[in-house]
Amino acid sequence: MLSEFDLIKQYFRRARTGHAVLGIGDDCALLAPTPGMQTAISTDLLIEGRHFFAGADPRMLGHKCLAVNLSDLAAMGAKPIGFTLALSLPGADPEWLEAFSNGMFALADEHDCELIGGDTTRGPLAICITVFGEIAPGHALRRDAARAGHDIWISGTLGDARLALAGYWKEVALDADDLALAAPRMHLPTPRVELGRALSVLPLAHAALDISDGLVGDLAHILDASKVGATLDVDALPAGPALAQQSLALRRRFTLAGGDDYELCFTAPAAQREAVIATAAGVGVPVTRVGRIEAEPGLRFVDAAGKPVEMDVQGWDHFSGE
Amino acid sequence: MLSEFDLIKQYFRRARTGHAVLGIGDDCALLAPTPGMQTAISTDLLIEGRHFFAGADPRMLGHKCLAVNLSDLAAMGAKPIGFTLALSLPGADPEWLEAFSNGMFALADEHDCELIGGDTTRGPLAICITVFGEIAPGHALRRDAARAGHDIWISGTLGDARLALAGYWKEVALDADDLALAAPRMHLPTPRVELGRALSVLPLAHAALDISDGLVGDLAHILDASKVGATLDVDALPAGPALAQQSLALRRRFTLAGGDDYELCFTAPAAQREAVIATAAGVGVPVTRVGRIEAEPGLRFVDAAGKPVEMDVQGWDHFSGE
């Protein structure tokens, strides 16, 4: 007789797509690394009520859990290979499990990223994914590789995920249309895997990371690791289409310190401007130049006229933040 | 200013031990696989109140979380390389963090297994470790490799972890000495990494797994995957020193269907008996021959006299079990 435990596993077992030598069902999965390639690894733990609302749509949740991990691979420029899923569930609801696994596998299939192992237990709803990718030695986009004189680039747009959250929280009055425009950025982030790979393969970009906790807080990681500073043009920051309709103050605040953007922030030499734009266009992702790396430590802000502006912003901290 | 979040990370950053090209602090860790070796990967999620008591000693908990993952590598015969740690914590208690990380790192250092990345969040106490090892192609001890005529072997002893739990639950009346004898098997399991490697390198063993949910339930995974059956000699099962002092009925029950044993169960051809014993002695781990793989499906039990006995036992199910 199948236990509830076995039934859950059924939602996650599929025909093999081929990366793993041995997939789900043994003590370990086995991967055969491509000769000469390095393995990129990232892990994220998402907790109900902190990273997503209680009662969140399971299909979108399945997408998002994997997306935030793929976004870490994108930020290194790595090619996705596979992932493990450890799942704590308060109970076994077949409808929930089917929707969750469908959302997760739809995104996994887009990126040819195979579920190779996992663990299931009863407990508060919590999802831990560990993702594996491959990258050629010396090509990883590292946080310590920014140099004075580099341009700072952002993929896509910022702030709509944060605007949606502000709408749910009634922090900002959003009409239904605006919320409908912004909400997918919060629930269904698009990991910039192809862009990250294109930037690392050539290589065009030097430093990169994915913006998950707000641009200012995340850019600080690059500045710290590279021992440099930067100036950002706060009015060049690409606001999402819903946020673009809001006040200047809100646009600045949510593009600088939103959260859940999952766009790439990367640096590249000024001589590569045309190449960066062409490469990004080649993978269908708009990129915007938003500032410059400088030798002087610290982060400074200027407006569209180049005039210094003071901004009081903080990154999003999944531990101390609410 | 360091946030609570940054403070937590400090407990887990250490000087590099050398396996990772890039460790904690970027979007991904980078590993350079040893040319020609496969990567073994396992993940386990431990939840407070289910896998360990609320208020569990943090040093022992740090040990156990990593031990159960290393035990999965041992069961494949893989050499530990590194691990990621995703941690959900209700708050940042420096004493807890120091003890937890010390317990974890003491075991990690024993096995030269490096913490290469992680994630920290606020939430219910939950610990997700994903562990990485290396093994030569074709040497992994897989669940589907048992053949009729193989001996079934068990490392170490079984049942003392379950007896300790029975003591805590007042299911069995244990005096303080017995509980003190049994409890370390529950709180501080020893992953049989060296034995697993020795069995896979030669190779001596064919099928193997680690016994985490009770021998009967776990052996069933080997029988299912290998499409074979088995007979176990219930009186040959090596009971732990505390359990050995209990009644025959309890000894049989807790050796057959305990839980948290983290011993290896493996199969090997009868012609390898001497070699198995010598190899195990070489790494200082006793092994006991407890039965035989047979072509006929199903699991049968005999007593010391070879007489069939009926046993009503079930594996431990972390989802449906309490």
What is the reported pLDDT for A318?
44
What is the reported pLDDT for B5?
62
Average pLDDT of the segment spanning B260-275: 96
What is the reported pLDDT for B3?
64
- Give the relative orientation of helices B248-256 and B215-226 as an angle to the nearest 10 degrees: 40
What is the reported pLDDT for B4?
62
What is the reported pLDDT for A205?
78
Residue in chain B closest to A87 (alpha carbons) equals: B45
Length of chain B: 322
Domain A143-302 fold: Phosphoribosyl-aminoimidazole Synthetase; Chain A, domain 2 (3.90.650)
Average pLDDT of the segment spanning A12-20: 71
What is the reported pLDDT for B318?
44
What is the reported pLDDT for A8?
73
**Binding site annotation covers A119?**
yes
**Binding site annotation covers B43?**
yes
Partner-chain residue, chosen from B31, B86, B140, that has the shortest CB–CB distance to A22? B140
Q: How far apart are CA A185 and CA B121, in angstroms?
A: 22
More confident residue, B313 or A165: A165
Average pLDDT of the segment spanning B143-166: 96
Domain residue extents for chain A? 4-135, 143-302
Confidence of residue B312 (pLDDT cuts 50, 70, 90): confident
* pLDDT one-digit tens code per residue, B88-123: 999 888 999 999 999 999 999 999 999 999 899 899
Q: Quick check: ipTM above 0.85?
A: yes
pLDDT > 50? residue A320: no
Given an 8 Å threshold on Cβ–Cβ distance, is B132 in contact with A76? no
**Contacting residues of A for B30, CB less than 8 Å apart:** 38-41, 76, 135, 140
Confidence of residue A19 (pLDDT cuts 50, 70, 90): confident
Handedness of CA A138, A143, A145, A150 (dihedral sign): positive
**Contacting residues of B for A72, CB less than 8 Å apart:** 27-28
Confidence of residue B319 (pLDDT cuts 50, 70, 90): very low
Q: Detail the DSSP E strand segments found in chain B.
A: 20-22, 29-31, 38-47, 79-89, 114-122, 126-135, 151-155, 208-211, 229-233, 263-268, 287-294, 298-302
**Binding site annotation covers A147?**
no
**Binding site annotation covers B317?**
no
More confident residue, A102 or A259: A102
What is the reported pLDDT for B38?
95
Given an 8 Å threshold on Cβ–Cβ distance, is A143 in contact with B225? no
What is the reported pLDDT for A13?
80
* pLDDT one-digit tens code per residue, A110-125: 999 999 998 998 999 9
Average pLDDT of the segment spanning B68-84: 96
Tokens describing residue A222: 């690059």
What is the reported pLDDT for A253?
92
Given an 8 Å threshold on Cβ–Cβ distance, is B121 in contact with A50? yes
What is the reported pLDDT for A76?
96
- Give the relative orientation of helices B176-187 and B160-168 as an angle to the nearest 10 degrees: 120
Residue in chain A closest to B29 (alpha carbons) equals: A41
What is the reported pLDDT for B23?
78
Contacts of A241 (CB under 8 A, 6+ apart): A157, A160, A181
* pLDDT one-digit tens code per residue, A229-266: 999 999 999 999 999 999 999 999 999 998 899 999 99
Confidence of residue A316 (pLDDT cuts 50, 70, 90): very low
For residue A115, the surrounding DSSP H or E stretch is strand A114-122
Chain B interface, best mutation among A2, A4, A27, A264, by max B CB count within 10 A: A27
pLDDT > 80? residue B320: no
What is the reported pLDDT for A322?
33
Q: How far is A288 from chain B (nearest CA, A)?
A: 21
**DSSP-derived secondary structure for B70-81:** HHHHHHHTPEEE
Q: Among B47, B76, B129, B114, which Cα is nearest to A21's?
A: B76
In DSSP terms, A115 is beta-bridged to A83
pLDDT > 90? residue B316: no
Q: How far is A188 from chain B (nearest CA, A)?
A: 20
Q: Among B301, B214, B126, B273, which Cα is nearest to A124's?
A: B126
Given an 8 Å threshold on Cβ–Cβ distance, is B45 in contact with A126? yes
Residue in chain B closest to A78 (alpha carbons) equals: B28
Average pLDDT of the segment spanning A134-139: 95
Residues B206, B196: contact at Cβ < 8 Å? no
pLDDT > 50? residue B322: no
Task: Supply the mean pLDDT for chain A.
Answer: 91
Given an 8 Å threshold on Cβ–Cβ distance, is B117 in contact with A43? yes
- Classify each residue of A94-103 as buried b or exposed e, where b means 16 or more C-beta atoms within 10 Å of its C-beta: eebbebbbeb
pLDDT > 60? residue B311: yes
pLDDT > 90? residue A20: no
Q: How far is B185 from chain A (nearest CA, A)?
A: 21
Percent of chain B topping pLDDT 90: 79
What is the reported pLDDT for B184?
94
Partner-chain residue, chosen from B26, B41, B133, that has the shortest CB–CB distance to A84? B41
For residue A119, the surrounding DSSP H or E stretch is strand A114-122
Pairing of strands A298-302, A229-233: parallel
Residues A231, A292: contact at Cβ < 8 Å? yes
Classify B4-135 by CATH class: alpha beta
**Binding site annotation covers B27?**
yes
Q: How many CB atoms lie within 10 A of CB A226?
A: 21
Q: How far apart are CA A244 and CA A257, in angstroms?
A: 15
Task: Supply the mean pLDDT for chain B.
Answer: 91
Residues B114, B17: contact at Cβ < 8 Å? yes
CA distances from B261 to A139, B55, B71, B178 (A): 44, 22, 10, 17
**Binding site annotation covers B121?**
no
Given an 8 Å threshold on Cβ–Cβ distance, is A86 in contact with B44? yes
What is the reported pLDDT for B317?
42
Tokens 């219930």: give the residue. Answer: B234
Given an 8 Å threshold on Cβ–Cβ distance, is A119 in contact with B43? yes
pLDDT > 90? residue A303: yes
Confidence of residue B15 (pLDDT cuts 50, 70, 90): low
Q: Among B241, B240, B236, B219, which Cα is nearest to B298's?
A: B219
* pLDDT one-digit tens code per residue, A163-220: 999 999 999 999 999 999 999 999 999 999 999 999 998 778 789 999 998 999 999 9
* pLDDT one-digit tens code per residue, A265-299: 999 999 999 999 999 999 999 999 999 999 999 99
Tokens 């580099």: give the residue. Answer: A150
**DSSP-derived secondary structure for A226-252:** HT-EEEEETTTS-B-TTGGGS-HHHHH
Q: How far apart are CA A106 and CA A95, in angstroms?
A: 16
Tokens describing residue A301: 């802000």
Given an 8 Å threshold on Cβ–Cβ distance, is B130 in contact with A25? no
* pLDDT one-digit tens code per residue, A46-59: 999 988 988 999 99
